[in-house]
Amino acid sequence: MSTRRTLIGVAAVILWLCLASPGVVVAQEEAEVLPACSDCHTEAEAFVGNPHARGTLTDGAVPSAICESCHGDGTAHIEAGGDPSLIVVPVGFDGSQVCIQCHDLNDDQQSHRNSVHANSKTVNCLTCHSVHHAEASEPHLLARKQLELCASCHSTKATAMRNKPFEHRIGRGGMECSSCHNPHGRLEDQALRETKAGEPVCLSCHAEVRGPHVFPHGAMETGDKTSCQNCHQLHGSNNAKQLKRANVFQLCLECHSPIVGGTLGSQPPSFHNVNLPRYRHCTTCHVAVHGSNRSPALMK
């Protein structure tokens, strides 16, 4: 008799579970369905075209999981009616650490953690990049055009490029600040780019002055990426060819001078009387000023 009662009880429990469980499961599922981020945040709708959403769209919408990868779990935020204190908002240096979870570039030349900008503690990922509100025409989610962005800190150089009569046409013709500078350069001297051959970045465009030459000009052989700056003002100049001096002979005499010892260049011969106009235009005769394969005096 007891065995029969036990079997009846087990059967009753099984029947109850069959009838009751589906309703319980449905109720739990309904309780766990939370609004999507895009239901409240209109910027989430615009995020459809964002590079971070590429390949993740579900029925043409960005899944909330993408938002949560940067902003953290939004459950408590939603249950509290959108309390902003219950959601992560990446800002400042701490916010940049969220970016580095995915963008952790770190090699001998550049780093997102220890770059020349990151080490300043006043500049971080979100100083230059705007994840939600970048201009559509700007690559890499830049907050503004490159020259405007760089000018916020590098005002002197930006002013030269904007106002000097002879300057690199930044923002025009495809040239930008990042054409020459690496914003993620690991060290300050690595912030200036170089060619694949390890040459000054200037040679990427000015290939006609590339060596090696049989008779090199000493100013081009200083052994660093800034040798062009020995003669040229790279960001802008009042002088033709962006030279540092208005008169060519004044520039040449900074090295080729009998007045100061220890200069890079030899002294000009005695008949070079710079008081005479004919000797003030050095490049009239010394035409191969960047280096020659025929003349030790760089005359052809």
Q: Which helix (H) or strand (E) holds 144?
A: none
Cα diameter, the chain: 133
Please say whether the beta carbons of 145 and 171 come within 8 A: yes
Residue 132 belongs to a domain: yes
Residue 167 belongs to a domain: yes
pLDDT at 28: 47
Closest CA to 103 of 62, 51, 33, 39: 51
pLDDT at 23 over 70: no
Mean pLDDT, all residues of the chain = 81
Residue 38 belongs to a domain: no
For the chain, what is the radius of gyration of the CA atoms?
33
pLDDT at 56: 78
pLDDT at 25: 46
CA distance 35 to 75: 9
CA distance 276 to 299: 20
CA distance 292 to 213: 6
Q: Which helix (H) or strand (E) holds 66?
A: helix 64-71
> For the chain, how far is it from start to end, CA to CA, in angstroms?
120
Task: Provide, rounded to the nearest whole percent, the portion of the chain with pLDDT above 90.
Answer: 14
How buried is residue 138: exposed, middle or buried, by Cβ count under 10 Å (0-12/13-18/19+)?
middle
Task: Provide, rounded to the nearest whole percent, the portion of the chain with pLDDT above 70.
Answer: 82
Closest CA to 284 of 237, 254, 247: 247
Please, which pLDDT band fits residue 5 given cuts at 50, 70 and 90?
low
Residue 160 belongs to a domain: yes
Higher pLDDT, 287 or 41: 287
CA distance 200 to 8: 90
Structure confidence by residue, pLDDT tens digits, 34-79: 788 888 888 777 788 888 888 777 777 788 888 888 899 988 998 8
CA distance 282 to 104: 51
Reading the block at residue 117, the tokens are 């900008």
pTM for the whole structure: 0.74
Identify any residues that bridge with 215 across adjacent strands, giving them in sequence order. Answer: 292
As a whole number, mean pLDDT of residues 11-18 equals 52
Side-chain half-sphere CA neighbours of 237 within 13 A: 14
Render 163-209 in DSSP notation, one character per residue: H-SB---TTSTT--HHHHB-TTBSSGGGSB-B-TTS-BGGGGT-GGG
Residue 216 belongs to a domain: no
Residue 159 belongs to a domain: yes
pLDDT at 220 over 90: no
Coil vs helix vs strand at 48: helix
pLDDT at 7: 52
pLDDT at 214: 93
CA distance 108 to 300: 41
As a whole number, mean pLDDT of residues 275-296 equals 91
Provide the H-helix boundaries in 80-237.
92-100, 125-128, 146-151, 155-163, 177-180
Residue 215 belongs to a domain: no
Overall domain count for the chain: 1
Residue 128 belongs to a domain: yes
Determine the structural domain holding residue 143 and report its residue range: 92-190
